[in-house]
Amino acid sequence: MGEFFYSALGFIVALGILVAVHEFGHFWVARKLGVKVLKFSIGFGRPLWSRRAGRDSTEYAIATIPLGGYVKMLDETEESEGSIPVHELPRAFNRQPLWKRTAIVLAGPAFNFLFAILAYWIVFSMGIDGIKPVVGRVAENSIAADGGFQVGDEITAIDGRPNRSWDEHRLYLFNQAFGKRKISAQVNDTNGERQERYIDLSRLSLSEVGPGLMERGIGLYGYVPEIPTRVGAVEADSPAALAGLETGDEILSIDGEPLSDWEDMVKLVQRRPGKVTAFKLLRNGEELVLSIVPERITQGERTFGRIGIRPAPITLPEEMLVRVHYGPLEAVGSSVENVWIMSSLTLKMLWKILQLEVSAKNISGPLTIAQYAGQTVRIGVDRFLLFLAVVSISLGVINLLPIPLLDGGHLLYYAIELVTGGPVSKNVMLWGQQIGIVALFGLMSLAFYNDIVRLFG
């Protein structure tokens, strides 16, 4: 129940902020360019709250369906003939020169990008907690192993960029991975000597360019302390719960094989799908033995066992913790760069999906957004701001796609108008709206399907 509450709260707050930012861009630029704004709404449908204010008696509203918003401007194409007073016709949107209409439409996505820059800047200026960039493990026969990386290397720079935490340049690596580039890393080895290592990203497949790029793709793992075999949580109705395993139990051995850490235990459990397994454990100073049948899980061609438990929280040693703090000007530069890279990556990913080179499963919908929003709300303000920045960039990029009904669709019409010297016909706009509805419905359906599979699959 608590997780649902945080997800719902995070989703409502995040979407409310980002929709308000986007629509305020349209609203503010329209007002500045002399266009009359009739309504500013966060959400669609029946208003939950509304009021009128300003010299134009603009209506401000919060509506029942939170999946978007809109700014309604004075426009002859949307009003019955003769219903607009003659003295207000110069303030109608449709009577504005092309550059003004373009600026008003562009303002929504532009404000999304500006908001993302501001959010990054706040977080970078406050400082970000991270882990010292020390290599904890190098996967065998991996890109990292071939590049010369060794356990204990402290990565001090990537392509000449100072590196202060394990995740500081992860986004940069994503971007370079799409370009299949070979990059260099400066490290201090275990003897304190400066060395140069290499990461050949041309060996990566596109399926490896994702959240696990550093680990599963490159084969570089950061410092991870030994995780004890103490149970931190037991999932409801899992094999562990049905067998009577409890939070706080310390698992000593599995089928007589002693355990050194949590990873040991996971490996042994995964080898026993569907088999009765003896777990020797310590509970309140007493040794017990429970029989548990690991659930059989199949992912692709791989089948493994799972009992449904999570480890107890661990505390990292102080010497491995860092706080990366940026000066005001450095924070501006890093914020702009992050927004640029994220925008570029979003477009590249969408293009690769259209080319069928990347799975459409990467598209997320409101359920996944709500889940991540809830998680970041609980973690802290800085993580929630970073989440808002990423989603704001995505909204900005998607709204610029040349799909009718989106801002990009209007900009496409304006580009045609610029070339032909006249606005597109009503028939073309009608066909465009129908195409846009089908495209958006298909995209939303796919996003919802992916959400459901992630949450319940």
Task: Give the residue numbers marked as catalytic.
Answer: 23
Query: What whole-number distance in Å separates Cα of residue 368 and Cα of residue 358?
Result: 19
Helices (H) and strands (E) in the chain, counts: 11, 18
CB-count burial class (<10 Å; 0-12, 13-18, 19+) for 124? buried
Query: What whole-number distance in Å separates Cα of residue 263 and Cα of residue 138?
Result: 16
Instruction: Report the b/e string of 189-213 with b at 16+ CB within 10 A.
Output: beeeeeeebebebeebebeebeeeb
Query: What whole-number distance in Å separates Cα of residue 42 and Cα of residue 13?
Result: 12
Query: What whole-number distance in Å separates Cα of residue 414 and Cα of residue 402?
Result: 11
Listing DSSP states for 198-258 in one string gives EEEGGG--GGG-STTIIIIII-EEE--PPPPSBEEEE-TTSHHHHHT--TT-EEEEETTEE
Length in residues, the chain = 457
Contact (CB, 8 A) for 11 and 366: yes
Contact (CB, 8 A) for 233 and 247: yes
CB-count burial class (<10 Å; 0-12, 13-18, 19+) for 220? buried
Largest CA distance in the chain: 90
Query: What whole-number distance in Å separates Cα of residue 268 and Cα of residue 263?
Result: 9
| Nearest CA among 157, 109, 151, 116 for reference residue 134 | 151
In order of 80, 93, 156, the CA distances from 84 in angstroms are 8, 12, 65
Contact (CB, 8 A) for 282 and 249: yes
